[in-house]
Structure 1
Amino acid sequence: MSIATLFSNSGPLLRYATTLIALFIALGPSARGQEPNGDAAVQTDPASETDPGAEVETKEVQPFDFDPYRTLIWVASDSPRVCADTLRDDLQKVLDRDFHAVWRTKIEDAPMSVASMAMRVLSEVNFDTLAATDPVIAVKRSHGDAVRIRFAGDVGRYASSILTTTGRMEEIRARLAGDPDSPKNAWLRILHAIEGDAVALKDAWAKEDTEAILVSRGMAETLTEPEAKIIVPPITGQVIDAAEAYDKIFIVRIRTATSPMKVESVEFDTLMRYFGDTSRATVSSFNLLPEVVGATLRDVFAPVARIDDAGKSNAVGLVRASGLVTDKNSPALVNVGDVLVPMVRKDDRNGNPISIGPLDWAYLLAKELDGRRVKMDFHAGRAGGLQGRKNARTHRIGLRIRPRKDQTLLRLHAKGDPNQPLIGYEIYEKELEGKSMTFIGRTDWNGRLDVEPTDEQPLRLLYVKNGGAVLARLPMVPGHHEKMVADLGGDDMRLQAESYIRGVQNSIIDLLAIRELFKARIMMRLERGDLEPAEELLEVLRNQPTNERLANDMGKRQSEFIKAIGKNANQQRKVDEMFSVTREMLTKHINPKLVRDLEEAVIVAKENGGKLPPKSDEETDGA
């Protein structure tokens, strides 16, 4: 029987089987002989563990140039009169003027830990210090079920106790997200407070009967004996969760106790975990706060250009949400002449960054707009920073910058030794489109030089020279950073080697002249028959530095210079070349032949009665 015949005769059978399968699925666990309250009932959806408040929905992926920024604004204030609730409506109206189409904004009060840090020194806040305050569950990796524990709900199923401090327990209960009795919050039922502070909690970690503790992320990362597996509990105000949920986080600090009031804002790019510059403003009235806060947010916002194609000296980027912009003067666009900071993030298989952040001494200069794409020149201290394979775990972007400072302090120090400044090094500026170089200045006693911005171009291409040799290429945007430090291989040893070689070469020239002078005097005395004075002069000539002596001294000094230079192959090559040229010069001009010729002349004079025989006409003509 053929397959076609079989299926043509089995219509009723197939319909019956389909009905049974549908009924089996509809009955669920009870049809498979399981109780509703059995083990299967407590299994939770991993998605709900990672984002307790999220609804299960399919998110449509937007094209990058039509994908608006997800932005979160955290407000930190020293007065209860100024908070997210009092600012939200008016501030949103101000922001909508520029960002209505390109931002999806949420305005909230900053978490307590973030607000506390921001109110101290906003300009020094970074991702590591913020994330270090997040409460996490540290589970011992030596735990028998550590492999099975992935979410906070798993800790409640596989562990019997989580230790924490009383203050931390109260904080967690106040920040809990979702139903306390839900399976994902099962870990709350085994949470126990101990007497003492965080130090006592860390001491408890060393005990064998301790399975897990609830501490800050910063402390959890220091636990090594045994190593901790970090689990993020489902509570509100977690910096890590906010960084994953938003593209940009703005922290706004408002000081009302001063007169006038002070407003400061800073942008945090979550993909690159990068904090930009701080924008500052003053305001005299509470009614003007939304306008001033909005102005600082507009000032610190850095549009993102995704690097789609990168060469050695150029790159092409696609500006995010640029397809949603209708105003050519929008702050969400990148224009010709803008400078961007190139950044690269490389993730592991779990999505955690292996390397992340801006490239050292590198900038992108927008040269041409091609629709929503921007063509840029890539200027870097070393080549190849943006090149590489394209894959899902590597992200390359550029963030537009706006210099806000009057100048940048450049400091040069020896590689690996900040306490050894490079003194008196020459700084030159090279034209971006040409080859001419202009002298800017020399580093001072501490290796420092102030570099100011220019009116023509924000980007300046600096070169470091010493003794005529180019040591480094340093692209810089003066005013972007208050201070920039270059860790360079010092050129002092090469200069010392060059000075020594010049001394040796001068000695060779002097010695050559002395030897020729001795030769002339000895030959003159032999021709006159003054044999004894000629032999005395010959003995003095023998005691002059020889080829072997000079070559041995050079060999010792060359080894010393190479050892002092270390692993700098470029400087080693230059030193080797200088010594090689000098050895050739020594071999050519300082050799034993002159002394041997004079010794033979003395022997001839002795055989001729103490006087050289007169030269023949042919020898005279040849001479």
Structure 2
Amino acid sequence: MNSILLAAVGVVLTVPSASMVLAQSMWELTPYKIRLVLAADDCVELEPALKNDVLPAVVTSLDYAAAARWEISGEICPPELRSVVLGDWKSLDKDLLPEEWRDPKQWDKIILVVVSQGIDGLHLKACDWDVALESFGVPVDGYAPDASQLSEAVEATVRRAFTPQARIAVIEPDAVQLRLRAGALPARDDQLGRVEAGAIFESFVRYEDRFGKARAIMRVPWSYLYIDRVDDGGKLISSVYSGLRNAFSARRRGRVRQITRLVRPQQGTTRLVLFSPGEEKTPLVGYDIYAKSPGEEHYQRIGRTDFQGVIEIAPVDVSPLRELIVKHGSRQMARLPLVPGLEPVLEAALPNDDQRLAAEGYLIGVQDELMDLVTRRTLLLARARRALENGDFETADRLLSEARALKTREQFVNELTQQQKLAVCDDPASQRRVDAMFDEIKKLVVQFLDPSEVESLTQQLAQARRNK
């Protein structure tokens, strides 16, 4: 389960310096160092063919196709790593991996391919281990009817498993420019690692020690770059979709690197779980979810969280990327871009807004009551004034008595003050909103329930009676 809190991730945005431009050029001229690891699962009789025929053929073919972009080599999975390679890649313990698999100076990518025997032929499963990011990409499947076609199937599966990296080169007011790793190097097959408009990149921040080893690696939450177009020279012009402020940076700060990686969309849904921060993780029930895809102008309501604070987010045909907003009543609580199916479960901690919504509902009722009271009071005073002008003092006195019997300004303000004391929110921002709403209603009460109007008309009635 991928638990992500909506923490503020502050990143300073700057104009690239000359050294940054040089580093970016080196990035585009640096080939990938790729290690291909083949393993046979429950078909050990295939291992000689994998070692002697398939592995050399695949490495030779990919080396020729990639030309200067890849430096690729391969090996059959060592016995001590079989349990790791044949296990669940998503839940893999990184400490079980060889040291060189976590050293970007040794490799950039470790591409694992597992071959298993099925009733209808040979089934393949491949995944891209990104050494700098210390994470797997999305597993892909392959198939070969028999061993004679295994080399071609392995190569095709490796091509689909490979996930290109990119760096942020320039941040413009309305777009972000990306540069692909090894993008300036020639390749015989331009389809290898090709990125087109509509592609999606996710971002990671790698914190290194003085030896270049990772101290921490953090995926930037709720943030994606959507490729709008690919310009001449391989520039990827992208739009930012993020629930954070300043989620992306073109600046390398000391031993901190921000690297983006291509996202391989998957079929399936993502279970979005909303809860309030704290040990209890109280589910946020009844929060409305709206969504739109890149290129769409308006959000459409797609549902509401259930009693567990859960809603299933399904993919759509327009784009794998969905930009969600969470609303509670009239308040927008969060913006949560995601790719349905990429993660089975995503969690978001948001302030519990129930007390604010309850206060908002109460104050809407108070507004209606105030409007009704002001209307009745205005009519009574108008009729009393007309009766006074016509010399009908008894009617004027009766109407003024009815006006004085209505709820007074002091009573209204006292009731609001008592309710405001009960409207306590855990979230400071919600509390400020609640207090502001109460203060606004109090101003309206003071403005429209001025007791001097009744007092003035009462004095006029008394004076008229004395003058009669």
Q: Same fold (TM over 0.5)?
A: yes
1:89 aligned partner: 56
Q: Aligned to 2:71, what secondary structure does the other structure show? A: strand
CA spacing shift, 1:536–1:467, aligned 2, 3 Å: closer
1:120 counterpart SS class: coil
Following superposition, the deviation at residue 243 of structure 1 comes to: 5.5
TM-score by length of 2: 0.79
Partners in 2 of 1:344 and 1:325 — Cα distance?
A: 28
Residue number among 110, 113, 117 corresponding to 1:256 in the alignment: 117
Q: 1:250 to 1:357 in 2, by over 3 A?
A: farther
Distance in 2, Cα, partners of 1:339 & 1:294: 24
Query: Could you list the runs of 5+ residues in structure 1 that have no partner in the other structure?
Result: 1-61, 135-236, 615-623
Q: Give the structure 1 partner of residue 153 of structure 2.
A: 292
The 1:89/1:351 distance shift into structure 2, 3 A limit, reads: closer
Q: CA RMSD in A?
A: 3.6
- Once the two structures are TM-superposed, the CA of residue 593 in structure 1 deviates from its matched residue by 1.6
2:100–2:107 CA contact under 8 A, matched in 1? no
Count of aligned positions? 437
In the TM superposition, 1:118-517 aligns within 5 A as: 118-125=85-92, 129-131=93-95, 133=96, 237-238=98-99, 244-256=105-117, 260-311=121-172, 313-327=174-188, 329-366=190-227, 367-387=229-249, 389-416=251-278, 418-429=281-292, 432=295, 435-516=297-378
1:582 aligns with 441
Q: Secondary structure of 2:137's match?
A: strand
CA distance in structure 1 between the aligned counterparts of 2:200 and 2:29, rounded to whole angstroms = 23
Q: Tell me how far 1:254 sits from its aligned partner.
A: 2.8
Structure 2 matches for 1:10-89, cutoff 5 A?
63-78=26-41, 79-83=43-47, 85-86=51-52, 87-89=54-56
Superposed displacement of residue 108, structure 1 = 2.6
Tell me the secondary structure at the aligned position of residue 253 of structure 1. strand
Q: Which residue of 1 aligns with 2:3?
A: none
Between the aligned partners of 2:379 and 2:111, the Cα distance in structure 1 is 83
1:455 and 1:257 mapped to 2: Cα distance?
32
Q: Distance in 1 between matches of 2:262 and 2:27?
A: 17
Contact 2:291 2:325 in 1 (8 A): yes
CA contact (8 A) 1:415 1:487 kept: yes
Q: Residues 90-135 of structure 1: CA distance to partner in whole angstroms, max 9, x if unpaired?
A: 332443454343222232344556431443323433xxx131x36x
What residue identity is the alignment partner of 1:68? P
Residue 457 (structure 1) shift: 3.5
What is the Cα deviation at residue 427 of structure 1? 0.9
Which whole-Å CA distance do the structure 1 matches of 2:191 and 2:323 have between them? 29
Larger Cα Rg: Structure 1 or Structure 2? 1
**Contact persistence 2:329–2:357 (CA under 8 A):** yes
Q: Quick check: 2:356–2:425 contact (8 Å CA) kept in 1?
A: no
- Partner SS for 2:231: strand
What is the deviation of 1:420? 0.4
Q: Give the equivalent residue in structure 2 for 1:200.
A: none
Moved more, 440-449 or 114-123: 440-449
User: How far is 1:424 from its partner?
Assistant: 4.6
Q: Report deviation, 1:412.
A: 3.5
**Residue-by-residue CA offset, 1:563-612 (whole Å, 9 max, x unaligned):** 31413x2x44443442232122100111332443365357557x74xxxx
Partner of 2:68: 101
CA contact (8 A) 1:248 1:270 kept: yes
Cα deviation per residue 1:281-317 (whole Å; 9 max; x = unaligned)?
3444233333322222111101111222234643222
After superposition, the C-alpha distances for 1:210-252 in whole angstroms (9 at most, x for unaligned) are xxxxxxxxxxxxxxxxxxxxxxxxxxx4465656511001222
**C-alpha displacement of 1:269:** 0.9
> 1:79-98: per-residue Cα shift (whole Å, max 9, x none)?
43344634422332443454
Asked if the contact 1:425/1:443 (under 8 Å) is kept, the reply is: yes
Report the more deviating stretch, 250-259 or 498-507.
250-259
Distance 1:343 1:375, change over 3 A: same
Q: 1:391 to 1:426 in 2, by over 3 A?
A: closer
Residues 1:516 and 1:322: Cα distance change in structure 2 (over 3 Å)? closer
Q: Which amino acid aligns with 1:66?
A: L
Q: Return closer, same or farther for 1:266/1:328 CA change in 2, 3 Å cut-off.
A: closer
Larger mean CA deviation between 441-450 and 316-325 belongs to: 441-450
Secondary structure at the counterpart of residue 85 of structure 1: helix
Secondary structure at 1:281 match in 2: strand
State the secondary structure of the residue aligned to 2:68.
coil
Report the Cα offset of residue 277 of structure 1. Answer: 0.5
CA separation in 2, counterparts of 1:517 and 1:603? 21
Matched letter for residue 350 of structure 2 = L
Q: What per-residue deviation string (whole Å, max 9, x for no partner) do you get for residues 425-450 of structure 1?
A: 03132653x74444444444444444
In the alignment, structure 2 segments of 5+ residues that lack a partner are: 1-24
1:485 maps to amino acid: E
Give distance in 1, aligned partners of 2:189 and 2:196.
Answer: 9
3-state secondary structure, aligned to 2:195: coil
Q: Which moved more, 1:94-103 or 1:293-302?
A: 94-103
Structure 1 residues 72 and 97, CA, compared in 2 at 3 Å: closer, same or farther?
same
Q: Residue deviations 1:466-489, cap 9 Å, x none?
A: 334333223333343334333333
Distance 2:266 2:181 in 1: 24
CA-to-partner distance for each residue in 1:38-76, whole Å, 9 max, x for gaps? Answer: xxxxxxxxxxxxxxxxxxxxxxxx933232211122333
TM-score by length of 1: 0.61
In structure 1, the residue matched to 2:412 is 550
Aligned residue in 2 for 1:186: none
Look up the equivalent residue of 1:76 and give its one-letter code: A
Larger RCO: 1 or 2 (CA < 8 Å, sep 6+) = 2
1:149 maps to: none
**Which secondary structure state, in structure 2, belongs to the residue aligned with residue 375 of structure 1?**
strand
Determine helix, strand or coil for the equivalent of 1:549.
Answer: helix
